[in-house]
Amino acid sequence: MTTIPPKLHFPYALRVMRAGHAVRRVGWTDRWWIWRGGIVVQVEAGEDNRPVQSTDYDADDLLSWDWTTLPVDCELLSKEPDMQELMTVRPYDGLPDSADPLGLGCNLPTIDSIRK
């Protein structure tokens, strides 16, 4: 079974976006980034989808290790990450085999669910 680690660095998050998943920073509770037609698009509750602009992020966002595909209320995100797990380089070999790839009761969100 293919799994996505709970917290990702940005290059891995970008690969996950290209595979069809929405990603966000752990601290972002109201916006997600998705990949559409070669462009990173911001999906924000109550707002129109639009391409991500340089004012939407800074260098810290791109250097952080807390990108995730998990919903805001997922319990796992409140725990300190295992740094060895985060630093392990793994090939990304496709989409997970289930909507809950970590078996935590934290289903991967759909675009409709994050628009609210």
Length of the chain: 116
Q: Give the separation between CA 32 and CA 24, rounded to whole angstroms.
A: 5
In a domain, 5, yes or no: no
Any idea what DSSP says for residue 56?
A: G
In a domain, 4, yes or no: no
Between 53 and 107, whose confidence is greater? 53
Q: Total domain count for the chain?
A: 1
State which residues form the domain around 64: 10-115
Among 57, 54, 52, which Cα is nearest to 38's? Answer: 52
In a domain, 85, yes or no: yes
In a domain, 3, yes or no: no
pLDDT digits (tens, 9 = 90+) for 6-28: 788 898 899 888 888 889 998 89
Is 37's pLDDT higher than 50? yes
Is 85 in a helix, a strand, or coil?
helix
